[in-house]
Each structure stands twice: as C-alpha cells, then as structure tokens.
Chain A
Amino acid sequence: MIGGLFIYNHKGEVLISRVYRDDIGRNAVDAFRVNVIHARQQVRSPVTNIARTSFFHIKRSNIWLAAVTKQNVNAAMVFEFLYKMCDVMTAYFGKISEENIKNNFVLIYELLDEILDFGYPQNSETGALKTFITQQGIKGQVRTKEEQSQITSQVTGQIGWRREGIKYRRNELFLDVLESVNLLMSPQGQVLSAHVSGRVVMKSYLSGMPECKFGMNDKIVIDKQGKGGTTDDSGKSGKQSIAIDDCTFHQCVRLSKFDSERSISFIPPDGEYELMRYRTTKDIILPFRVIPLVREVGRTKLEVKVVIKSNFKPSLLAQKIEVRIPTPLNTSGVQVICMKGKAKYKASENAIVWKIKRMAGMKESQISAEIELLPTNDKKKWARPPISMNFEVPFAPSGLKVRYLKVFESKLNYSDHDVIKWVRYIGRSGIYETRC
C-alpha cells in the first residue's frame, strides 16, 4: 500500500510530507527530488523506481504530488487516489497552488490522516468529509451524540455521498450534457479516428433522500422497448437512438441494476457531481470540416490555404471558434488574409491563430497565408504538425438526448412534477485535428 505522500513546489522543496509506513524513510523525499524533479531529462514515466522504491507522481500546475511505496501496490488505485486527493483539496480551498497549500497545511494533514489509513484509501467523498473536517476548526466538542453517530454512519455507510435531512424550499436540478468531440482527419478528408467522450454533470438541490431515474436515447434500451411492444413510445424514439460504446458511472449509480436492466437509478449526492461518462464512435456529427492546402514554393516560402465548413443546422450558432495553423520554426514573416474573424501569426507559439466569434451552421470561411522562411541548412524536415481547432456548439455531437429524469421521494411531500429541471447540451472540441 501507499507508504508515504509528499507534495513539492516547482523547486523541489517539500510542502507536505506524510509517512504511513515504516519502510519509507526521510531519504525518499530527497530521492524523488533529485531523480525526478531535478532530473535533467524530461520525465519519461509517471512511475519511477529508485532503489527498490516506487514513486508515483502527478503534477497540478507547478505542484508535484508524489506517492511512495515499497510494495507491489495497485498502481491504478494510487493514481486514482492522487487525483481524488486533488479533488478534495480543491473542494476545500480552491486551486492547488503553493500558497494555498501552505495556508492550509494543517487542514491537509488532517485530511490525509482521514482519507488514508496505513496507506489504504478510506472514504474520500467531499460531502462526507466536510461534515466533520472543517476549516474553522473542529466542532467536535459541541456535537450531540446523535450528530456524531450520524457522521460516522455516513462516512462508513452505503450512501456515503449524501447526508440525511437535507431540505430545500425549491427542489431544483440542472443537467448538463457536456461532450468533447475528437477527430483526426487525413489531409484528403478521410476520417482516421473520431469519437465523442461525454459527461453528464448534474447539480441537484433536492430535499430528503430522493431516488432518481435517468433515461436517455440509448439504442439498447430503445430497441428493447420497441420489441417489448410498448407501441406508444417505440414509433417516435426508435429513429433517434444512439449506440453507446461504453459508459462509466458515479459510485451512487447501482451498477448491478444497470448491468441487468440497463436502467440508471441512484440517490444523488447534494450539489454538483458527475453522474456518468460515456463514449460513442458511431454516427458522430462532426460540427466542422477543415480543408487544408499547403504548398511549398521554393525553399523559402510556403503557401497555406485553409477552408472551414460548418456542418449543422443553420439556426444554431457555434462559438469561440479558433483554428491553429502551425508554422515552421524558421518562419521569418507571415501575411494572412481571412474572410471572417481575426487572424494573427504568433511567433512564440509557431502558429497562425485564426479566431471567429460566432458562426452559423452550413456556412464556410477561408483563410490564406503566405509564410516566408529563413533558409536553413538543417537537414531535418519540418514535421508539419496537424491543424487543430477549438469551438463550442449548443448541441451534443453524439446525438445523445435526455429522455427523462424522474425524482421519487416517498417520505417528503413533493413529487416529480414539483421539481424544476433544466437540461443543457454543450459540444466542445476535444482534440480536433486535421493533418496537412
């Protein structure tokens, strides 16, 4: 199991050091600094073995977080734990920065004592932790006995992510379907790979212990219903179902129920959390198409022409469009003409950045550039990195639709109809690249 946990600043000075196991000594702190943080070469692996001691590390801005062990631990678990620890810290004091860590070091030690025991991760749900570890010192001594046992039963209980007795005057929930669409296209316009990775993020402000059921246009569910003979539903929804390659759920979702009935039912945490993640690869709506044309004119000049086409309903508007056209390292000057938006050559980034604020569907725009090159004797050819694109569109490129989210709370007197529900779809570019 995890033998120790260290947090360093960018210089390699240790900010937090917590040792859980006897086999990890103080010298491990230095070993990591010398061999990884101060290493001359770029880090080649997130797992480093130094003198039979294994170091797992992640970086958040310029802060290094390292877990150390001498045993054959579950490596995936260690990384998941490090991410989780970042989440917990962020939930407590915001961004993970040197200053924040120093300002909260007592709190961090307290958290580390609670979420890791002898190197074994324990309950690390922020909702539960916040009931008894607070920034304003401990309220422990003023608690009643009932409160205490309520805390412990929540921390260890089956529904560790939600406490009893939550009350809202207005029961409300927000559903965000956030998708990032990834594309790799060949210069000839052939799709090399494309997939959507999506997340359903929920903000719930619901009273009591509500039981929720979430439904979407999952092909498997809809086909099953079609076969089942529920005639009222199958006709209209059958055409717009999507094939989900795989999905994962927040721990509140009953996985065995999903496995057997493919229904998503759960008691939600309070506030914001990620209900599910999913991935689709079939019938993806690619919001933009990039058509590049690069011509080398002699040894000192390049001509680049890039056309982008929007491919969605004309009534919808894409926003924050940015096209990044890489330029060779020996570029001396660039002239750009674009039909729409603004384009600039950024020498420090070796790229022409073309920005368009808004663009409606089924439109087309173009940029052309002349790139002057300095003659070099470098034999190495320019690697021609792909043209990448960023954008945001108000629909889900996978075609996912939320069909329902039902809320049942039997003990309190509000029904599904009383809950105010908001659904929003946002499609963003993930890695959206076209080779040129």
Chain B
Amino acid sequence: MEWASQLCENRGLGSKMTDSKYFTTTKKGEIFELKAELNSDKKEKKKEAVKKVIASMTVGKDVSALFPDVVNCMQTDNLELKKLVYLYLMNYAKSQPDMAIMAVNTFVKDCEDPNPLIRALAVRTMGCIRVDKITEYLCEPLRKCLKDEDPYVRKTAAVCVAKLHDINAQLVEDQGFLDTLKDLISDSNPMVVANAVAALSEIAESHPNSNLLDLNPQTINKLLTALNECTEWGQIFILDCLANYTPRDDRESQSICERVTPRLSHANSAVVLSAVKVLMKFMEMLPKDLDYYGTLLKKLAPPLVTLLSAEPELQYVALRNINLIVQKRPEILKHEMKVFFVKYNDPIYVKLEKLDIMIRLASQANIAQVLAELKEYATEVDVDFVRKAVRAIGRCAIKVEQSAERCVSTLLDLIQTKVNYVVQEAIVVIKDIFRKYPNKYESVIATLCENLDSLDEPEARAAMIWIVGEYAERIDNADELLESFLEGFHDESTQVQLQLLTAIVKLFLKKPTETQELVQQVLSLATQDSDNPDLRDRGYIYWRLLSTDPVAAKEVVLAEKPLISEETDLIEPTLLEELICHIGTLASVYHKPPSAFVEGSRGVQHKRLPARTGSGEGAESPDVGQSGPSEAPPAVIPSQGDLLGDLLNLDLAPPTATVPSVQPSMQMGAMDLLGGGLDSLLGGDIGGSPSMGAGLGAAPAAMPAALGGAPAVGGGLGDLFDLGGGVGMPTGSYVAPKTVWLPAMKAKGLEISGTFARRGGIIQMDMSLNNKAMSVMTDFAIQFNRNSFGLAPAGPLQVLTPLSPNQTIDVSLPLSVNGPVMKMEPLNNLQVAVKNNIDVFYFSCQYPLSLLFVEDGKMERQVFLATWKDIPNDNEAQFQIKDIHLNSDAASNKLQGSNIFTIAKRTVEGQDMLYQSVKLTNGIWILAEMRIQTGNPNYTLSIKCRAPEVAQFVYQCYELVLKN
C-alpha cells in the first residue's frame, strides 16, 4: 500500500470521478470502519465502502471478515454496486461457504430478471462461486439460461457449463447439460456457437475417450458457417476445435482448407496462426501432385511473413511457430530469407529466434547474403546474440559445403577482432568444421594457436586441445602447447582434462620419441591424482593399451572419426508432428509437448498428424522426402534405458525412432571408449569384418535393410575352419566351430578361441586356452561386461592346473542369463575380460542368438494368430535364405533342434508355408513365416517381433542352422 499513501497528496487534484482514493485507507481499525460504512443507510456511502473493500482485496489484504456485510449489499438495483459485490463473492465464497448460501436467493432471483444483462451476470457469477451447496442451486437457473431467448444469456450460460464441469463433472453429466451444450452448436447466433465450442473442447480435453465433440461433416459444416460470422475470438475457438478433426478423405480435407484460407487475411494474428494450424494439419492428407496442394503452399508464406510486423511479443510467438513450420515444410518459406534479417532495435528474444530460422533456411542460393548478415551480427553488443551468430557461421559451413571456405575465412576475420568470447566461440565451431571437412582447412591452425592464451572457457579450451592433439604432427610445438595446459591440470574442468589426456596420448602415438615424459605425466595425473572416475578409467585404459600393444593403441586412439552430421538440433520427428498440431499454443512456444508443462489429465493426449490418403502415396512417409536440403533422417540419440525397456517388455509399444547415432568422440566417457574402442581393437581380428568397429554405431540397427552393413556374425564364423580342439558335438542344436577370440600377440602369449553352445537348456561357452608364451600361466578368472541379454558366468572359470608353455586346455563355462543388462551394439556383442597371473586381457565376441532360444518356445496356434495380427506391420522384416536343399519337413526338424518350433504348416499352390515361433530367455516372442517353394532353393523368411531389432539376428540363426 505504499504507493497508495503516496498518492494521498495528489488527492486534492482528483475530481469526484477518481477512484484512486479508495486505495488510500491504511489506518488501523479500518475493517471496523468499513463495517460501519457498509451498513450505512445511504446508498452512496455503501457503494464507496464496497469500493474500498475491493481495493484492499486487490492489493492482497484479507477482508474476508466483512463477508456478511458485503453480501448484505447485494440486494440492490444498482448494477455497478452489484457487480462489485459479485467480485467480492467470487473471491471469498470458498472461504465462507456457509455465508455464501445467503447469496443464493439473489442469484436465483436475478436469473429471472427481465433485463438480459442481469440474467447473464447472475449466471456468469454463480458459476465462479466454487461452493458445492451453491452449485446445487445453480442447476435449475442454468438450465433455463441455456434456453434463454436472448443470445447474450445463452452464450454466457454455455461457458457456465464448463465452469460447473470444472467444479463437479458428475453433476454436469447427470443433469444432461452436455447434450444441451451440444445442441447449442446448431444455435442461430454465431457467438453462442463459438462459446459452446470452446466449452465443449475444454470438457472433452479432460475426457480423452468420450466422444463428446462428436465432429462429423454436418457439425463441421455448421462450424465453418459460424466461422464467417463470429468475433475474432470465436473464430479462434472454432479453428482450434477444427484442428482436432480428422477428415475422412482428401476431398473433404481440401474443401475445409478452402473455407479456412480466407482467415489468413484476418488482422488478428491468433486467427491467422490457428488457421495455419488447420491448414498444416489437413495438408498432410492432400496428394502432393494436386494443383491445390501447390496453391495452398504458396498461400501460406505471405501471412506468416506478415506476422513479423506485429508487436514484438507476437513476433516471438510467430517465430517459434515458424521455426516448427520450416522444419516440417521448408519449401514454404525458402524464398523469404530476407524478412528474418535481424533489425538493430528488435528485442533480444526476437533476434535470437530470427537467427535460428536464418540458419534453417540457409542454402546454397542465399548463403552469401546470410554470411554477410551473420558477420554483421557478430559485432553487436549482446553477448548471447554474438555467440549464437558465430555459431551460426559454423553451422552454415557444415550445412552448405560450397560456403565452407568463405565461412572459415569469416571466422578467421572474427578471430582477428580479438574480442574474447568471439574468439572462443569461433574456435569451438572451427573444430566442428575440421571434423566435417578433414584435411581441408588445417592451414588455419597457426592462427588458432596464437589465441591459446585468451581462452578461458572450458568448451573453447577443450576444442583447442582437441585440435592440437588431432593435428599434432603438423604443429611443431604441439608438445609445448599441451605441456602448458598440463601445468594447471587439476584446476581444469573435466571436459578439458579428458580432452587433454586424449590429446597427449595422440601426440605420443604420433611422436613417441620426444613425448614419453609428457604422456607419463598425464597418465599419472589422470589415474593417481584424480577423483573423477571417468578420467581415471580413461587414463587406465590408455595406459594398458599403450603398455600392452602400441599398435592396437594407435588403431583405437587415432581411429578415423565418423563425419558429423549437419543438422543436429532438429526436433525429433514425432515430437515435431505433435507440435505442428499445437501451432499457436504454448506448446509451440516452448517446443515441448503439453504433458511437459501441464498438470493433470489435460493435454496428456498426444496429437498426431493425419496420414495421407491419396493412393500410390502410401509408401512415402510424410517425414522423409520433403526435408529439403538435408536428405538424411535426423539423428536421434535414443536413451539406452528406453530401448532396453522396449526390448525387455513385451507390453511396450515398439520404439518410434531408433536411429542410433555416433556420439561425437569429444564427449565419449570411459564407457563409450570401452564399447567403441575395444570393438575396433578386435574388429580386425574377428571374422575379418572391418565394419565392426566404431562404424557399427552408425548402422541403423532396427532396419533389416541394413543387413549388408552389419556383420553376419555366424556366417562369417562358419566359414572359418575349426581352430580349437573341439568339444564333442552336442545333440540337436548347432554349434559353430571355434574361432580365435584373443590372439596371442595381444595377450602376452595367451590365445583364446571359442564358441557358444546350448545343451539341454544350459548355455555354455566353450573355450580353448593356448599358452604360446615361454612361462607358465596360472590364476585364471573371467568376467563379462554388461550385455543385451544379461549373460554372465554361472560359476568360476575352472582351470585347475597351471597352463605350461605350448599347452592347450579346453574349458566349458556354464552361463546364466541373470546378469546385468545393457543394450549392446551389435545386439549380440559380448565383452569379456580374462585375467591370469600376467595381466588382464579384454576381448569381445558375438554369440548366435540361438543360444537364447528356450525349449518351451512353442506357441499355441490361437495365440500365434492373435499375436501375429497384434504386432504392427512395421515390425515385420523379410529375408531370403539362399541355397538350401531341404524339403519343408527336414528343415522344420533341423530347426526344431535349435528350439525353433513349427506350429503349423500350410500348402498353397505348391508353396509350403511354415509358421514358427521362438522364445528368448528374456521372454520375447519371435514369430516367423517361412515360405518354401518346391524346386526353389531360396526360402523367404518373414519375422515379426515386438522388438524388431532382434529380427536380423534370428535370421542369421536360421541361416546357420539350415546350412549346417
């Protein structure tokens, strides 16, 4: 109330019209005084007193003690006073429910008043009083008002139903108000229609499954008619409601679009955005070759651009939405780059958003202009904006190859400005450019090195260190540079420490003679003096690698890195689709689904774009193909937990987008190093498949089409001749011959070869240990890393006698499936550590999935049929098994030995169809259909599974079993 008292002095100036004086009472005992005034006989005095009460209420004072006195003033024919009393009631009724009842009579009476304004006021206020006892009395007046002759009362009553539903949903249903509300959609007055639509939409949101807003072509037609006649706000309600409708076919979709497009010329930006939402959604259903589709695309651009001349806050909302639209349909705005150029006086939030869109629209055609602008922005004042501008230059270089050279020279110019944060940002992006275009721009390294001292941000320091390490052979004083960083090793952030460790190891591998001391220093700093487990682990791994096998170390540390992809910040496609359905709303501003910021049941439903219905277009997914400059599907890094959940839990839906991507090696922690590094270390030795290394991570695992890229483990192994001594061939299930897992040269003379077998329901790992060294080996032990199916040794490794030189010993290690689980890449990869008295050795091997096929994997026929139908068709994978000369019965017998059970057989036109089932140890069912044509040695295999990742490995087992 400070300001109120300040105003006291000015009071004299105010005429009797000013109300500010009501704010001025700050004296003690005012409640008592007010009470007296409220009970005054004079009307004017009463009114003054109520005004004072409202003023106190506004500033947050508790005036609930005056409740009975204020309610007493309700019985008046002065509308202004009445409204004030109502305002008070709405605020305090909840805290004084018993007293609030006193007001009921007046409300009920007012609902019968001859003046429609008073009737509406009563019904409007009553709905805001959230007291159970009052709501009971509200029903009858509300029912009357919903059928009132005056549209003003009806439109108010429509909203009141939503209010009542918020208080007591059951009551609304029981009283049949929902049906009355539905009837109002056909009302003759457009505003009544609009409010009824708003109320119904809101109620429907909290009843996701009810068919409340039963939208059909007739109601849609009514809505479209009302659209032309109602207020701007009503148009928004109707358009937002229309957006929830899914037309039956492309014809209906087009006709709705035609009737919505005129709204794009409305002065109200919200009407325009809601119309854009409807069009963006319904466009999905139009065939792309339709003339109208092109026309519609052209019509969308100008209104979107016009939104940018609105007030800044609306510009912000518009820009956040345009950001989505540009990702979904880049073609709409591809020629409108210039309108996104930043103006000097734009608020910062508008500037940052414009910059984002500029990068998205950058293409070969406009890159020169964009770069000139970005360079201009990089000299502005706002630090965040400048940083983003510099980063944008880097992204342009990566996105538009032709511009890379110009971008690099622009960045160099910026580095010359010596503005600290500009330099640092530039170095971070130049690192990315190096990774995208290796061996092209390294000539600038010298300039970068000049700025070493000015870098004080971890990201920039880490980037610079990475550059020095990566190009150590071209930098004469690389050792000195890195040494200078090493001095303050413990004060650096983890990011920098990890990078420094890797860089020095790289340097050592490139220039071993001069840098031995340095590498020892960093390794001891990392392993002995650090508390950070990531750092220590990485340090130990390097240490062991370097001490055991420098050649392997070179392969691991200096491995060729995958190129970075261009658009890393695209919104994940399913989320993008959902957000497109929410254009104009908060969700589109936050770029988050409503469930992320709305409490309770509202907004939890996920909206989806409709599917295209045009024939012949079925194959084309709406996400791919129109992504403009970037053809590659956007990389999404799935969290391991989610994927695993899908793999292990049959009830979960299949993963929507599982395109794993390689994380940039910069961020690789110790775990990644183990995964990627060890694989590539051993990759060259196992089965001769070079693609097994880090490159594997990039191969889409979920897609059977990628077969060529992934190593056919079993097949590759099978071709190799038997190296080990061989344990007696087991009955039934096929066991692959042993292969060398750990060559002697990598394990100080210990050679391990082995294979896996399933015998009578027990999984065994058969190994031959061969001592090729000069001394005796003892104290053998084995451990597994976490893996996809939780394989773990069921007991210790039984090597009882010491292994003397040139001796070979065969051991069989029983395995359990109760170990810790982590999804591996490939799925059947197993990382093993073997210890003896000399050292610890690591290797990885791959097991055939048939190891996990359990004996009770025969499914009931009916269950099979139901499950087959139940699994979505997207999960079906087809394979060809070539050159099998078995008839269907023989094949079926052979497969049964490996726990692949035939449930039914059908013969159609000389073609045998075998229906088979397999169950994995973790409970996943795999269903298969195998087609065998007499005389044709090639079988067709269709596999359906809720976890589609496994299909490919199951196929490999089929091939292995049938061919052996």
Count A interface residues, CB 8 Å.
Answer: 111
Contact with A along B583-619 (1 / 0, CB 8 A): 0111111100010011100110000000000000000
Q: Let me know if A135 is at the binding interface, CB within 8 A.
A: yes
Q: Let me know if B723 is at the binding interface, CB within 8 A.
A: no
- CB < 8 Å neighbour of B84 from A82, A109, A186: A109
The answer on a CB contact under 8 Å between A380 and B233 is: no
Min distance, Cβ B345 to any Cβ of chain A, angstroms: 6
Q: A105-B19, A384-B379 are in contact. Are A155 and B152 (CB under 8 A)?
A: yes
Closest to B22 in A: A105
Q: Let me know if B348 is at the binding interface, CB within 8 A.
A: yes
- CB < 8 Å neighbour of B192 from A26, A140, A156: A156
Min distance, Cβ A432 to any Cβ of chain B, angstroms: 11
Among B74-82, B474-482, B686-694, B844-852, which stretch is in contact with chain A? B74-82
Q: Which residues of A contact B265 (CB under 8 A)?
A: 246-249, 255, 258-259
Q: Which residues of B contact A149 (CB under 8 A)?
A: 116, 150
Q: A151-B117, A193-B341, A259-B262 are in contact. Are A75 and B585 (CB under 8 A)?
A: yes
Q: Let me know if A240 is at the binding interface, CB within 8 A.
A: no
The answer on a CB contact under 8 Å between B229 and A158 is: yes
- Binding site of B, secondary structure by majority: helix, strand, loop or mixed? helix
Q: A79-B313, A106-B54 are in contact. Are A140 and B118 (CB under 8 A)?
A: yes
Q: A22-B166, A47-B316, A71-B598 are in contact. Are A106 and B7 (CB under 8 A)?
A: no
Contact with A along B161-199 (1 / 0, CB 8 A): 011001000000000000000000000011110010010
Q: A98-B3, A279-B309 are in contact. Are A73 and B192 (CB under 8 A)?
A: no
The answer on a CB contact under 8 Å between B192 and A132 is: no
Q: Let me know if A335 is at the binding interface, CB within 8 A.
A: no
The answer on a CB contact under 8 Å between B313 and A46 is: yes
Contact with A along B699-734 (1 / 0, CB 8 A): 000000000000000000000000000000000000
Min distance, Cβ A374 to any Cβ of chain B, angstroms: 19
Q: Let me know if A15 is at the binding interface, CB within 8 A.
A: yes
Q: Which residues of A contact B236 (CB under 8 A)?
A: 74, 77
Closest to A76 in B: B270
Q: How far is the CA of A249 from the CA of B379 in the complex (A)?
A: 39
The answer on a CB contact under 8 Å between B233 and A77 is: yes
Min distance, Cβ A58 to any Cβ of chain B, angstroms: 6
Interface centre among A23, A29, A255, by most B CB within 10 Å? A255
Q: Let me know if A207 is at the binding interface, CB within 8 A.
A: no
Q: How far is the CA of A83 from the CA of B191 in the complex (A)?
A: 21
Contact with B along A45-81 (1 / 0, CB 8 A): 1110100101011100000000001111111110111
The answer on a CB contact under 8 Å between A383 and B379 is: yes
Count B interface residues, CB 8 Å.
Answer: 121
The answer on a CB contact under 8 Å between B78 and A138 is: yes
Closest to B235 in A: A251
Q: Let me know if B488 is at the binding interface, CB within 8 A.
A: no
Q: Which residues of A contact B349 (CB under 8 A)?
A: 43-46
- CB < 8 Å neighbour of B586 from A75, A135, A256: A75
Among A110-118, A336-344, A365-373, A408-416, which stretch is in contact with chain B? A110-118
Q: A184-B341, A249-B266 are in contact. Are A279 and B306 (CB under 8 A)?
A: yes
Q: How far is the CA of A102 from the CA of B18 in the complex (A)?
A: 8
- CB < 8 Å neighbour of B348 from A9, A44, A105, A109: A44
The answer on a CB contact under 8 Å between B189 and A156 is: yes
The answer on a CB contact under 8 Å between B60 and A385 is: no
Q: Let me know if B539 is at the binding interface, CB within 8 A.
A: no
Q: Let me know if A90 is at the binding interface, CB within 8 A.
A: no
The answer on a CB contact under 8 Å between B599 and A385 is: no
Contact with A along B252-271 (1 / 0, CB 8 A): 00000001011101111110
Q: Let me know if B237 is at the binding interface, CB within 8 A.
A: yes
The answer on a CB contact under 8 Å between A103 and B14 is: yes
- CB < 8 Å neighbour of A72 from B231, B344, B603: B603
Q: How far is the CA of A433 from the CA of B554 in the complex (A)?
A: 57
The answer on a CB contact under 8 Å between A14 and B19 is: no
Interface centre among A26, A132, A160, A384, by most B CB within 10 Å? A160
Among B323-331, B416-424, B671-679, which stretch is in contact with chain A? B416-424
Interface centre among A153, A248, A274, by most B CB within 10 Å? A248
- CB < 8 Å neighbour of B376 from A135, A157, A435: A435
Contact with A along B190-231 (1 / 0, CB 8 A): 111001001000100000000000000000000000001111
Closest to A136 in B: B17
Q: How far is the CA of A158 from the CA of B907 in the complex (A)?
A: 70
Q: How far is the CA of A154 from the CA of B357 in the complex (A)?
A: 43
The answer on a CB contact under 8 Å between A140 and B115 is: yes
Closest to B236 in A: A77
Q: Which residues of B contact A73 (CB under 8 A)?
A: 585-586
Q: How far is the CA of A122 from the CA of B192 in the complex (A)?
A: 11
Q: Let me know if B23 is at the binding interface, CB within 8 A.
A: yes
Q: Let me know if A418 is at the binding interface, CB within 8 A.
A: no
- CB < 8 Å neighbour of B117 from A70, A104, A132: A132
Q: Let me know if A148 is at the binding interface, CB within 8 A.
A: yes
Q: Let me know if A143 is at the binding interface, CB within 8 A.
A: yes
The answer on a CB contact under 8 Å between B198 and A120 is: yes
Q: A76-B273, A259-B265 are in contact. Are A70 and B599 (CB under 8 A)?
A: yes
Q: A15-B58, A383-B381 are in contact. Are A75 and B115 (CB under 8 A)?
A: no
The answer on a CB contact under 8 Å between A71 and B602 is: yes
Closest to A135 in B: B17
Q: How far is the CA of A145 from the CA of B54 in the complex (A)?
A: 31
Min distance, Cβ B18 to any Cβ of chain A, angstroms: 4
The answer on a CB contact under 8 Å between A140 and B117 is: yes
Q: How far is the CA of A109 from the CA of B89 in the complex (A)?
A: 14
Q: Which residues of B contact A386 (CB under 8 A)?
A: 344
7 closest cross-chain pairs (CB), A and B: A246-B302, A152-B152, A102-B20, A76-B270, A259-B262, A77-B270, A138-B79
Supplied contacts A76-B270, A79-B317, A255-B265, 20 more A-B pairs, CB within 8 Å: A15-B58, A43-B349, A46-B313, A58-B311, A76-B272, A76-B273, A105-B23, A106-B51, A110-B80, A113-B124, A118-B159, A120-B198, A137-B80, A156-B191, A192-B369, A193-B341, A251-B267, A274-B267, A431-B343, A433-B344
What are 24 A-B interface contacts by the 8 Å CB criterion? Answer: A44-B348, A46-B312, A49-B590, A54-B586, A70-B598, A72-B585, A74-B270, A76-B270, A80-B314, A81-B233, A83-B314, A106-B51, A109-B84, A140-B79, A155-B152, A158-B229, A160-B231, A195-B339, A249-B267, A250-B267, A256-B262, A379-B419, A383-B381, A431-B343
> Which B residues are within 8 Å of any A CB, using their own CB?
2-3, 7, 10, 14, 17-20, 22-23, 51, 54-55, 58-60, 77-80, 83-84, 86-87, 91, 114-118, 120, 124, 127-128, 130, 150-153, 155-156, 159-160, 162-163, 166, 189-192, 195, 198, 202, 228-233, 236-237, 240, 259, 261-263, 265-270, 272-274, 302-303, 305-306, 309, 311-314, 316-318, 338-339, 341, 343-345, 348-349, 369, 372-373, 376, 379-381, 417-420, 582, 584-590, 594, 597-599, 602-603
> Which A residues are within 8 Å of any B CB, using their own CB?
1, 9, 11, 13-17, 19-23, 26, 29, 42-47, 49, 52, 54, 56-58, 69-77, 79-83, 98-99, 102-107, 109-110, 113, 117-118, 120-125, 132, 135, 137-138, 140-141, 143, 145, 148-149, 151-153, 155-158, 160, 184, 186, 192-193, 195, 197, 245-251, 254-256, 258-259, 274, 276-277, 279, 379-381, 383-386, 388, 431, 433, 435
